[in-house]
Amino acid sequence: MNRNINKLITKASNGDIESQYELGVAYAWGEELEQDFSKSRKWYEKAAKKGHLEAAYNVGTMYLDGQGGKINKELGLKYLDLAAKAEGYDLVALAASKLLKEIYEFGYFDIKKNDSKLEFYQNIYNEQNLHFEN
């Protein structure tokens, strides 16, 4: 293991939110570490709990897919919701709101269709998308 990875692990273990996210990425992609989705999910979740949007999106989809552990629809939706409701305008919020509106429109991941949630996330998506179109 190279020095940079050891430093990243140390910083992540000490609670640095960006290092936790980056370590999640490293484990997900097998970058300088052996690919390990359970460790990736663990580090993404640590960063997501502190409000890291990309980590929230990634761990949300991992919970819905069962990547790195058991499927947990409740946690998956919780983390995607966190990412979708980002303050201001953010591409992660755009992606999360799009995925959530499609989940509730089409019933992806065996989640029951829900018109009120579809409308809610459609509104977030439209607002985010309008900003990026201009």
**pLDDT tens, position by position, 53-63:** 999 999 999 99
Query: Cβ distance 129 to 94 under 8 Å?
Result: yes
How many other C-beta atoms are found inside a 10 Å radius of the C-beta of residue 107?
Answer: 12
pTM (two decimals): 0.95
Local confidence band at 1 (pLDDT 50, 70, 90 cut-offs): low
- Token couple for 7: 């430093």
**pLDDT tens, position by position, 36-81:** 999 999 999 999 999 999 999 999 999 999 999 999 999 999 999 9
Average the pLDDT over 92-101 and give the result: 97
Per the structure, the complete domain to which residue 40 belongs is given by 3-133
Q: State the CATH number of the domain containing residue 17.
A: 1.25.40.10
Give the number of domains in the chain: 1
